[in-house]
Structure 1
Amino acid sequence: MITKNTNLFVVSNVTNLRSRVNKLYIPKTKSLLPLFEIVSNSIHAIFEKREIEDNYQGKIIIKLIRNGDESTLKELDFIDKYPVKSFEVSDNGIGLNRENFISFQEFDSEKKAKIGGKGIGRLVCLKLFSKMVVESIYTENGKFYSRNFEYKKNIKEGFDKYENPESEKTITGTTVILENFEIEYQKKAPKDLLDIARQIITHFQLYFIEKVIPEIIIRNQNDEEVNLLNLFKSEFESEILDDTFNIGNYEFKVYITKSFNSLSHKILYCAHERTVKDEGLSKYIEDLRYIIKDNDSLLGYHYQVFVLSKLLNEKVNEERTNFHFSDDEEGDSESDDDITLARIRRETLLKVEELLSSFLSKTRKEKVEQYIPIIQSEFPNYASVIEFNRDKVEKIPAGLTPKELDVKLYEIESEWKLEVKIEGIKLLDEKKDITSLEDYKKLYDKFWSEFNEVGKTDLARYVVHRRSVIDMLDKLIKWDSNQRFYNEDIIHSLFFPIKEDKDTVIHEKQNLWLLDERLTFNNLLASDKTFNQIRQLNSNSTDRIDLIIRQEEIFDKATLFSEDKFPNDSFTIVEFKKPYRNDYVLGDPKKDPVRQVRKYINEIIDKEIKSEGRSIEADKTTPFYCYIIADITSTLEYILREEMFTKMPDNIGYFRFYTSDELKYKAYVEVIPFKKVIKNAKERNKVLFDKLNIS
């Protein structure tokens, strides 16, 4: 290493530069990052000189050096098709004086950290270029010096050809040449002069927005050039949206720009014109999740929301990596003496909604219009949710599947119900002096309107549930994918959860309305258990029954019970058989469903039965309603004829009353094929289905 130390400054660099560069990872898509680093250094050098020199005008010249003969390139009218092999960046800033050169030598420089840098810019440069050639003029103790050197990654210390003589030049400034692009990065780098200019503006757009950027000229070898300030004014400035908001005594500026290089929409909290902390916008505004393309353009962009304030300048930490807010910095304090990041974010988001209202309104309207057909056909129960919560519905994500859409709408519906409930409690608790009917109407109209709509939503949901249950049963009585019929346990569970008792099943979980609307109000004793497993029934029988349901006095007691005595319970027995089963045998205790049901009745009559410790009187006066759900195949039809069953008027099902004096019980038994269950359920619910257009 050659050193010429005319001002007694000793060059040292003890870190293994080559090792640091090799460990560094720079994506191929970041091919202009070294150029940005050098331009950033020039900007900071100009800022430093502004502080000590009045009426100073900073200027940066960027020269693109392309592959090819220099003299030939100068004569060509269009040279943008030739790849850029080197960049030359010149500025008239403060130069590499002692302090700046020490910072240059130090990795993770403290000086760079204080102005928002990482202190590793030269490592980035050497990762993508073979070397940096530096020539800098600076002043010290009234004299001008030239600091010249090459910085290479193939030398351990990095420095080569170092010279530091006095200079005859009397204007400070620095020229850096990034020499010889690494080929894999060169291939990914833009060639077009205007494209490179636009990317520089995008990278430093906050400087441009705040009007603190010095004049920057980018120039080709044929002297074609672009003034970045003029380009910013013509192409970028008109697209920038801005506004302010206040929290306490502090004003906050919000700028929204379009970035064609960023990978997502972001909020960028800034201090001293540098981004300190960023957050994804999609977390807070769902419609700012995907790239935006205008008028079918192939080139898309993301919004970047810059937030600036004197408060943020005061609160930034020394490393410029975060802000010093209170311990509860994510809290939602309303105190002007304890402003939190959460509060700044909330106000910023309100401004984003306001500034981007045109775009967001259009996007949300188009999104909801795409969802409406799905909601109308599959989820009509959400009609009132959409009507009364349109703003929330518009903010759900785009591209949801029907199932995901259902979940999102359900969340909105649940929140709405809670809000209406709270409002109702509030209105009822508050003592109002109502002096006229008109006052009363004004106070309560809105609440009762939404309260009624909530009720309609619940009813609509129940109707849709019924339609879905009928459709599911229709599917279950057909062949599965293996051309087999579903097991009766699966079908049983659709009507009522299998192996449950009344302590674990609420009436909303059962679908016995498929058989008879009255069964909705019955009380379950047992489901698909042996009698001796039913703790409500004190029985030792090991026979199984699908359902035993005891009817409470809540319904039909005027018909079922006499008026001059305590009402007896009635029982409902439901037995399910596999669709199209055809191996029934008359009199067989395991293959004759009619005998099975009658045997179950005898078990109830003959044994002492208790429900929750109280005896239940079940005798010849106790009505039994029995449903055998089975397809009428030839073997079952033979049993029904032998048992003297009567065909129903529609010729689909069968029924019989067992009322003989020789029997110990009175029972009404229906044998209903699955298709009749579906037919009857559809007919009973038709008016509801029609109302919701889901027939």
Structure 2
Amino acid sequence: MNINITNAASLFFPNPSLEMVYFEAIANAIDAKATLISIDINIKSFSAVETFTIKITDDGEGFTQRNFNKFSSLLEVEEEDHKGVGRLVYLKYFKEIEVESVFENNLRKFTFNNKFKGISQITKSKNDSKNTILIFSGYKLDRIKSYDFLKPKEIKKSILMHFFPLLYNKKILNEELKISIKVETQESNVKHNFYSDSQTIDVNDIADLEEEIIEAPELDMFEKLNLYYSVKENSSENSIITAICVDGRTIPIDIISKGGIPSGYEIVFLMYSNLFKGKVNSSRQELTLKDEELKIVKRKFSERVIEIFNNKIPQINERNTSTKIKLEDKFPHLQGYFNDKVVGLIDRNQALEIAQKKFFNDQKEILEASSLTNEQYEKSLEISSRVLTEYVLYRNVIINKLRLIDKNSSESDIHNIIIPMRKSFSKDEFHNDLFTNNAWLLDDKYMSYTTILSDLKMTDLLNHLSIEEEETSKDDSRPDIAIVFSDNPDNSKKVDVVIVELKKTNLKLAKKEEVVSQLRQRARKLLKYYGDKIQRIWFYGVVDFDSEFKISLLEDKYTRLYSNDSVFYKEHPIILDENKPHESIPVGLYVMSFEAFIEDAYSRNSTFLNLLKENLKQLSD
């Protein structure tokens, strides 16, 4: 063999797998018409790679002169479905392979290694029964990548997957073939389920497959895709084979996600076609179909598997329908983006990720368009509805977070959810703080703010109320939330003001009544210094209610307002000059419970959300 074997092995098998050693030996044995193949693995322990050896025996016709010549010559093949380089994978893992083969009363011996020159020793055999023995030794790597490469049960699965079309064909033709796999180890590993064990593959035990023909004119007007499949319920763990069959072997196609079927099913889906013949690389690891061809094949494959699952495993469709309804209910802004054409059970997280990506791409398309077609204009309206729904959903999250706050929590816990403390917000930064400012909890009209001051000094509030530069009075008291906003800032210099006081729960009556006093003081100061700059004022006191406090408010002539809990309102006359007691300015003052504050916001938001959900449902239908 006049070729650098080491370089050739790296060229043809750049990313091999240890199980390919088993595959190549089995393929050669089957080509040699073997009916019995045994794989014997011996290793002291998983980590003792220096003790790792493999012995593979078969009863095929052996290394006749013709077969030996083929083995000694790279790339010389007689059939289109052979590549002529498979044995090179042996040398990616082992330093040498000792070969003994009995054929026609002769015994051939040779060592396959990097120095192999196509020379062997032939003597007369004392045994007239045909057999070939390959002994692999001198493992080259410093570790074995996975226990699965040494476990008979896992090796059996890999062999069935890789050779299923060839094995199934033998079953149909009533040809015999048994493959035994055995591992011997001195040190088991319970944690990794590794111990001495054996498994057997018998082609007679392979399940019968049903067959369907799939038209694919996009690929070829004359050639068809043949789908062979079996869907059987059993009591053992799931077994799934989905693959394209090329030259008697399989190339796995991942169309069913992990956990994609209910437990207890044995599933085989194999797709054959003359279109695939020879369309595989030299290592038989990858298809060489064109990208567009492979895309069509996968789509055809997936569509038919979905239909078969609907008939064979109806609970998949039932569970997927339930999952889709739950996703659309929780994420209504993504309604219509959840994929109905899923092979197997819907992976909730994956479905959500895909839907969000589709939504983002639609947004990007609209925003990047220099001008909108009629279709894009309609799409932009739909996108706007979805964005609004997403925001309203976010508001529900905030409300639910407030609902979970402990009754004994501090004011700051509640305050930071409504508006982060020590922060100010400007109308110019509306998009940046849309998800931070939750003033809508009081009333949606407060989202039209120009400025919000959270737990800042009254001096800062007065500065924001100043339209022209002027002296402001010092006041170090801190209203919990101060909001300054305007109905129409372009046409009017006057502003509207909202002052909010939050009080801890479980306060005594006197402390609760302080809320009213504090708000009146705020009103008096604002009106005294900036009466000509203010057109309206709203005051809110959010406190913990009890029967005694309600009575106190009623005695003070407060009016109970419609609410999910307790809200009281009264217009207070604010007197600015003690010498003019008959001159007063009425200011509205709301006192509400935490429950009313939260539940009223929830009612408003839910009404809005339900309307949006119904609209999106109609758009998606």
Which TM-score applies when normalising by structure 1?
0.56
Q: Which residue of 1 aligns with 2:410?
A: 487
Q: Which residue of 1 aligns with 2:138?
A: none
Residue 40 in structure 1 maps to residue 12 in structure 2: no
Given that 1:217 and 1:227 are in contact with CA atoms closer than 8 Å, whether structure 2 keeps it comes out as no
Tell me how far apart the structure 1 counterparts of residues 359 and 125 of structure 2 sit (CA, whole Å): 76
Quick one: structure 1 residues 421 and 308, their matched pair in 2 at CA, closer, same or farther if it must change by over 3 Å?
farther
| Alignment equivalent of 1:117, drawn from 65, 82, 86 | 86
CA shift, 1:639, in A, is 9.5
Equivalent runs, 1:260-271 vs 2, <5 Å: 270=246
Residue 164 in structure 1 maps to residue 122 in structure 2: yes
Tell me how far apart the structure 2 counterparts of residues 601 and 26 of structure 1 sit (CA, whole Å): 81
| Alignment equivalent of 1:175, drawn from 131, 136, 140 | 131
Residue 62 in structure 1 maps to residue 36 in structure 2: yes
Q: Which residue of 1 aligns with 2:587?
A: 667
Given that 1:43 and 1:214 are in contact with CA atoms closer than 8 Å, whether structure 2 keeps it comes out as no
Tell me how far apart the structure 1 counterparts of residues 359 and 523 of structure 2 sit (CA, whole Å): 46
Report the 3-state secondary structure (helix = DSSP H, G, I; strand = E; otherwise coil) of the residue aligned with 1:545: coil
| Alignment equivalent of 1:516, drawn from 426, 443, 454 | 443
Output the amino acid matched with 1:515.
L
Output the amino acid matched with 1:530.
K
CA shift, 1:488, in A, is 1.8
Q: Which residue of 2 aligns with 1:496?
A: 419
Quick one: structure 1 residues 657 and 598, their matched pair in 2 at CA, closer, same or farther if it must change by over 3 Å?
closer
Q: Which residue of 2 aligns with 1:625?
A: 538
CA shift, 1:625, in A, is 1.3
Residue 374 in structure 1 maps to residue 326 in structure 2: yes
Quick one: structure 1 residues 246 and 631, their matched pair in 2 at CA, closer, same or farther if it must change by over 3 Å?
closer
Equivalent runs, 1:642-681 vs 2, <5 Å: 645-649=556-560, 653=568, 655-660=570-575, 662=577, 667-681=587-601
Q: Which residue of 2 aligns with 1:301?
A: 267
The runs of 5 or more residues in structure 1 that have no matched partner are 1-8, 15-23, 46-58, 67-84, 104-108, 138-144, 221-225, 325-339, 431-446, 480-484, 558-564, 608-616
Tell me how far apart the structure 2 counterparts of residues 290 and 671 of structure 1 sit (CA, whole Å): 54
Quick one: structure 1 residues 41 and 214, their matched pair in 2 at CA, closer, same or farther if it must change by over 3 Å?
farther
Given that 2:559 and 2:570 are in contact with CA atoms closer than 8 Å, whether structure 1 keeps it comes out as yes
Given that 2:527 and 2:534 are in contact with CA atoms closer than 8 Å, whether structure 1 keeps it comes out as no
Report the 3-state secondary structure (helix = DSSP H, G, I; strand = E; otherwise coil) of the residue aligned with 2:588: strand
1:246-303 CA distance string (max 9 Å, x none)? 5599979675666999976555585x5556xx5652xxx4x4433757xx7x462354
Given that 2:454 and 2:481 are in contact with CA atoms closer than 8 Å, whether structure 1 keeps it comes out as yes
Q: Which residue of 1 aligns with 2:498?
A: 572
Q: Which residue of 1 aligns with 2:342?
A: 395
Quick one: structure 1 residues 568 and 189, their matched pair in 2 at CA, closer, same or farther if it must change by over 3 Å?
closer
Equivalent runs, 1:209-228 vs 2, <5 Å: 216-218=175-177
| Alignment equivalent of 1:428, drawn from 356, 360, 374 | 374
CA shift, 1:475, in A, is 2.7
Tell me how far apart the structure 2 counterparts of residues 311 and 65 of structure 1 sit (CA, whole Å): 29
Output the amino acid matched with 2:539.
C
CA shift, 1:570, in A, is 1.9
Residue 597 in structure 1 maps to residue 531 in structure 2: no
CA shift, 1:627, in A, is 0.9
Report the 3-state secondary structure (helix = DSSP H, G, I; strand = E; otherwise coil) of the residue aligned with 1:490: helix
CA shift, 1:624, in A, is 1.8
CA shift, 1:686, in A, is 7.1
Given that 1:656 and 1:669 are in contact with CA atoms closer than 8 Å, whether structure 2 keeps it comes out as yes
CA shift, 1:692, in A, is 8.9
Equivalent runs, 1:519-598 vs 2, <5 Å: 519-531=446-458, 536=464, 541-554=475-488, 568-582=494-508, 592-598=514-520
CA shift, 1:94, in A, is 5.1
Tell me how far apart the structure 2 counterparts of residues 460 and 63 of structure 1 sit (CA, whole Å): 63
Report the 3-state secondary structure (helix = DSSP H, G, I; strand = E; otherwise coil) of the residue aligned with 2:505: coil
Larger radius of gyration: 1
Q: Which residue of 1 aligns with 2:48?
A: none
Q: What percentage of aligned pairs have identical amino acids?
A: 16
Report the 3-state secondary structure (helix = DSSP H, G, I; strand = E; otherwise coil) of the residue aligned with 1:671: strand
Report the 3-state secondary structure (helix = DSSP H, G, I; strand = E; otherwise coil) of the residue aligned with 1:543: coil
Q: Which residue of 2 aligns with 1:89?
A: 59
Given that 1:592 and 1:639 are in contact with CA atoms closer than 8 Å, whether structure 2 keeps it comes out as no
Tell me how far apart the structure 2 counterparts of residues 631 and 490 of structure 1 sit (CA, whole Å): 15
Q: Which residue of 2 aligns with 1:562?
A: none
Output the amino acid matched with 2:593.
P
Report the 3-state secondary structure (helix = DSSP H, G, I; strand = E; otherwise coil) of the residue aligned with 1:529: coil
Equivalent runs, 1:7-406 vs 2, <5 Å: 37-44=24-31, 59-62=33-36, 88-91=58-61, 95=65, 99-100=69-70, 102=72, 114-115=83-84, 117-121=86-90, 133-137=100-104, 146-149=106-109, 163-165=121-123, 175-177=131-133, 203-207=162-166, 216-218=175-177, 235-236=207-208, 238-239=210-211, 270=246, 281=254, 285=255, 287-290=256-259, 292=261, 298=264, 300-301=266-267, 303=269, 309=275, 313=279, 341-359=290-308, 361=310, 365-371=317-323, 374-375=326-327, 379=330, 381=332, 386=335, 388-389=336-337, 392-395=339-342, 398=345
CA shift, 1:393, in A, is 4.4
1:671-694 CA distance string (max 9 Å, x none)? 222123245445656755777999
CA shift, 1:628, in A, is 1.5
Tell me how far apart the structure 2 counterparts of residues 463 and 526 of structure 1 sit (CA, whole Å): 23
Quick one: structure 1 residues 323 and 465, their matched pair in 2 at CA, closer, same or farther if it must change by over 3 Å?
closer
The runs of 5 or more residues in structure 2 that have no matched partner are 7-15, 41-54, 136-146, 180-199, 467-471, 579-583, 615-621
Output the amino acid matched with 1:629.
V
Given that 1:245 and 1:347 are in contact with CA atoms closer than 8 Å, whether structure 2 keeps it comes out as no
Output the amino acid matched with 2:101.
V
CA shift, 1:365, in A, is 2.7
CA shift, 1:493, in A, is 3.2
Quick one: structure 1 residues 424 and 306, their matched pair in 2 at CA, closer, same or farther if it must change by over 3 Å?
farther
Quick one: structure 1 residues 111 and 86, their matched pair in 2 at CA, closer, same or farther if it must change by over 3 Å?
closer
CA shift, 1:597, in A, is 3.4
Quick one: structure 1 residues 290 and 89, their matched pair in 2 at CA, closer, same or farther if it must change by over 3 Å?
farther
1:164-183 CA distance string (max 9 Å, x none)? 148999x9x9632579xxxx
CA shift, 1:352, in A, is 1.0
Q: Which residue of 1 aligns with 2:186?
A: none
Given that 1:114 and 1:318 are in contact with CA atoms closer than 8 Å, whether structure 2 keeps it comes out as yes
